[in-house]
């Protein structure tokens, strides 16, 4: 939890007194995906503990539609008073503006509070695929160019991006089969209609444990605490491979700096609570809790990285 601890004590002690009564009413936390989805679960877990730290209710609102862009627009256009914040994903803040013409700027229209978590994907294959590791899967695909397929949760999604990076670094010819969400794709991978997919760990790990899918590797630079026995793609012969997804807490641009600092300080305190930290880790998430400046730097670095992936792969929006 070294990221979580960084600067926490200093900021908690030094929150500016410019907004002494903030918050004096409930804070609304908007998430762009339905109840039960991974971002919703993260929002509710963090929101519940953040309410304890702020000593005010944190009300989670699910604003679904347009792959989370409707929620992002709602957050961007909310009054910049600290009473509307949002949980946004890497896909919403980085990939969406590359693929879509949006009515807001996902970078300029938000004030970064903290990057909450980072989540690797799990590369899984159908049980009948004669490959148990990355080297075997690559060899199989190279022997049958254009035959193997991969599922995703839609063009431009994080699962699609992970597969495109994998295709690029391995020089493989495998075909993309997009679905409307990860859950919709899983049955066809289990049945063998699709060869493989990259998926958030919590979604497919139960199926791996039940023997319905075979896990091959994780997409983070380090092994995941959720599946420590699985190697990374980076250590499987492709150094530097990384395709993760993160969630971050943001406020509308123009939110007073004192409020942003207080939200950050209390968010870090929430993430340091062992019960919350352990629940997030159990979901296959690595807890971050970095500063607003560090979060902004992450976004700034991700934009050109994924823009190149999208351009090189010729990815278009659905």
CATH of the domain at 259: 3.40.190.150
Question: Are residue 166 and residue 229 in the same domain, yes or no?
Answer: yes
Strands 110-125 and 244-252: antiparallel
Question: Are residue 101 and residue 7 in the same domain, yes or no?
Answer: yes
List average pLDDT for each run of 10 residues in the chain, which is 318 residues long: 47 46 96 89 97 97 91 96 97 90 89 95 97 97 97 90 94 95 93 96 92 97 90 96 94 98 98 96 90 95 91 81
- Quick one: pLDDT at residue 318? 64
Question: Are residue 45 and residue 188 in the same domain, yes or no?
Answer: no
Residue 189 belongs to a domain: yes
Domain endpoint, select from 202, 236, 270: 236
Q: What is the DSSP secondary-structure string of 180-191?
A: SSHHHHHHHHHH
Distances (CA, A) of 19 to 23, 79, 82, 110, 259: 8, 16, 10, 20, 7
- Quick one: pLDDT at residue 23? 97
User: Residue 100, exposed/middle/buried by CB under 10 A (0-12, 13-18, 19+)?
Assistant: middle
Residue 307 belongs to a domain: yes
Question: Are residue 51 and residue 198 in the same domain, yes or no?
Answer: no
Joined together, the tokens standing for residue 236 give 């499987």
Q: What 3-state DSSP class applies to 89?
A: strand
Distances (CA, A) of 291 to 11, 92, 250: 10, 20, 12
Closest CA to 163 of 33, 96, 173: 173
- Quick one: pLDDT at residue 103? 86
Question: Are residue 39 and residue 89 in the same domain, yes or no?
Answer: yes
CATH code of the domain in which 150 resides? 3.40.190.10
Which structural domain, as residue segments, surrounds residue 23? 2-119+243-313
Question: Are residue 80 and residue 107 in the same domain, yes or no?
Answer: yes
- 102: phi then psi, degrees, rounded to nearest 5: -105, 160
Domain endpoint, select from 215, 236, 257: 236
Question: Are residue 69 and residue 111 in the same domain, yes or no?
Answer: yes
Residue 318 belongs to a domain: no
Residue 163 belongs to a domain: yes
Residue 209 belongs to a domain: yes
- Quick one: pLDDT at residue 20? 67
Domain endpoint, select from 184, 210, 236: 236
Residue 108 belongs to a domain: yes
Question: Are residue 160 and residue 14 in the same domain, yes or no?
Answer: no
The answer, yes or no, to whether the previous bond of 220 is cis (omega within 30 of 0) is no
- Quick one: pLDDT at residue 3? 52
Closest CA to 216 of 162, 283, 270, 178: 162
Question: Are residue 248 and residue 115 in the same domain, yes or no?
Answer: yes
Question: Are residue 150 and residue 64 in the same domain, yes or no?
Answer: no
Q: Could you tell me if 14 and 258 are in contact, meaning their C-beta atoms sit under 8 angstroms apart?
A: no
Question: Are residue 77 and residue 219 in the same domain, yes or no?
Answer: no
- Quick one: pLDDT at residue 38? 84
Instruction: Report the distance separating Cα 298 and Cα 294, nearest Å.
Output: 6
For the chain, how many structural domains are there in total? 2
Q: What is the model's pTM?
A: 0.83
Question: Are residue 196 and residue 136 in the same domain, yes or no?
Answer: yes
């Amino acid at each position: 939890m070294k990221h979580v601890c960084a600067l926490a004590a200093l900021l908690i002690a030094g929150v500016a007194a410019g907004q002494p009564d903030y918050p004096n009413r409930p804070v609304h936390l908007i998430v762009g995906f339905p109840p039960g989805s991974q971002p919703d679960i993260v929002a509710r877990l963090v929101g519940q503990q953040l309410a304890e730290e702020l000593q005010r209710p944190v009300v989670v609102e699910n604003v679904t539609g347009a792959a989370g862009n409707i929620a992002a627009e709602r957050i961007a256009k909310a009054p910049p008073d600290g009473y509307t914040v949002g949980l946004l994903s890497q896909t919403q803040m980085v990939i969406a503006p590359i693929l879509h013409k949006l009515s807001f700027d996902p970078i300029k229209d938000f004030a970064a509070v903290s990057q909450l978590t980072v989540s690797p994907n799990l590369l899984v294959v159908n049980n009948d695929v004669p490959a148990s590791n990355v080297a075997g899967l690559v060899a199989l695909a190279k022997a049958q160019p254009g035959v193997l397929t991969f599922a995703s949760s839609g063009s431009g999604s994080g699962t699609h991006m992970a597969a495109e990076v994998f295709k690029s670094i391995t020089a493989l010819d495998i075909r993309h089969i997009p679905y409307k969400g990860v859950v919709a794709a899983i049955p066809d991978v289990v049945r063998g209609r699709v060869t493989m997919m990259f998926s958030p760990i919590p979604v497919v790990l139960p199926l791996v444990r039940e023997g319905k899918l075979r896990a091959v590797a994780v997409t983070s630079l380090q092994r995941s605490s959720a599946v420590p026995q699985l190697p990374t793609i980076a250590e499987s012969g492709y150094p530097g491979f990384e395709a993760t997804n993160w969630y971050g807490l943001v406020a509308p641009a123009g939110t007073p700096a004192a409020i942003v600092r207080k939200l950050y300080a209390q968010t870090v305190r929430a993430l340091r609570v062992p019960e919350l930290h352990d629940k997030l880790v159990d979901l296959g998430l690595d807890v971050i809790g970095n500063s607003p400046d560090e979060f902004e730097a992450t976004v700034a670095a991700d934009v050109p990285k994924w823009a190149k992936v999208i351009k090189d792969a010729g990815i278009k929006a659905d």
